[in-house]
Amino acid sequence: MRIEASGADVTASRFAISPLWELTGALRVLTGERPHQALRPWLLRTQDRYRRLMRTADLEVVNALQPPNWAADFLTPVPASASTTIEEQLALVRATPVAEAHTQVADMLARRPVAPRVERILTGEDVTGYIADVLAAAWDELLTPEWPTLRAILERDLVYRAGQLISRGWAAALAGLHHRLSWRQDHIELAGFPYEDLVLGGRGLLFMPSVFIWPGLAAHMDPAWPPALIYPARGVSALWVCAARGSEAGALGKLIGASRAAVLLALEEPASTTQLAAILGQSLGGLGGHLAVLRQSGLATTARSGRAVLYSRTPVGDALVAATGAE
C-alpha cells in the first residue's frame, strides 16, 4: 500500500494515545489471538484477574466485535491527544448512534457468527451502553493496576519520536516504527497491506504507539477514523520485565545495588524520571539519587526533548550491563 503524503499532510499529522485501543488489544492477547513472548510476563500475572473478570463481565459480547484482524470502530473512538482518558473514550462509546453501531455490528457478525444470546444483545437498542459497561469493568480489572506503567511506555515512545521529529525531521521520526513501513520522499509504503493506495489530501496521519499490538502493525483507513497507523511502542520487552528483573539482576545488582541496577536496565531506552517512577515503582526522590550516581559514574547521560529531560545509558553503561550478563 502506498500513502501519498504532501507537506500539508506532514504538518497535519499527529501522535496520540488510546486507552481503549490498549484495552481491546489486551483482550485479544488474553484470548490467545495475539500472543507473543514479549507480552508473556504481563499475560502470566494477569491470568487470575482475567478469570475473575470472565465470571463477572460479559466479555463474549465484546470479543464478538473483534474477529481476527477486524473490529467495530465504535469500540475504540479516535483519541483526541496523548492525554485522552478512558472516561472520555467510554463516553464516546455510549454516545455512538444506535443505527451506526448496528451497521458495524452487522459487519462483524458477517465475519464471525455468534451465539443467539450474544446476537440479541448486539442488535438491541442498548448495545452501546451495554458494551461501554463491559469495557469499563474490563478496564478496572485488567488495566487500572497496569496503566501507570503502560502509559509510561507509550509516553516514552512519543517523547522519543518528538525528539527525532524536532532534531531530524519526519524521515527520522518514522524510521524504525516497523519493518513493514518505509518512508519515501513523498509517500509511505506499507508492505503486505490489502488496501488500495491512499492520497491523504491534507488530512495527515494519526500515529498511535501500542503495547498490545506488539510486534505487529495496524492500519486504520475506514472513514469513521482519520487515516491512522498503530505501531508497537519502543522497548516493550525490556520495560515489561525491568521492574521484576531489578531485584534479580545478578552480578549487576550485587555491584551497584538492586534498585540502581533496575534503573540502569530501564535506561536501555531514553526516559524521564516520571516515566521511570511509573515503570519501576520507585519514588521520585530515590530515583533522583540513583540517576545522579549513574551520571557521576559515567553510566548515564541526559538530553532535553522539548520540556522533558531524558536519561539514557552511555556506551559505558551498555558495556557494564553486557559484561555482568544482566541482559
Question: How far apart are the C-alpha atoms of 153 and 212, rounded to whole Å?
Answer: 11
Of 63-72, 287-296, 298-307, the one with minimum mean pLDDT is 298-307
133 and 193 fall within a common domain: no
134 and 206 fall within a common domain: no
Say if residue 221 is exposed, middle or buried (CB neighbours under 10 Å; 0-12, 13-18, 19+).
middle
Domain boundary among 202, 232, 262: 232
- Number of domains within the chain: 3
181 and 269 fall within a common domain: no
The 10s digit of each residue's pLDDT in 154-202 is 888 887 787 777 677 777 777 778 888 888 777 888 888 877 888 888 8
Question: 238 pLDDT band (50/70/90 cuts)?
Answer: low
At which residue does the C-alpha cell 499475560 appear? 43
Question: How far apart are the C-alpha atoms of 320 and 308, rounded to whole Å?
Answer: 26
264 and 120 fall within a common domain: no
Domain boundary among 206, 232, 258: 232
The answer to whether the beta carbons of residues 43 and 57 sit under 8 Å apart is no
140 and 117 fall within a common domain: yes
Question: Is the model more confident about 279 or about 245?
Answer: 279
The range of the structural domain enclosing residue 184 comes to: 2-15+149-232
Of 70-79, 132-141, 145-154, 208-217, the one with minimum mean pLDDT is 145-154
216 and 279 fall within a common domain: no
pTM for the full model? 0.78
40 and 139 fall within a common domain: yes
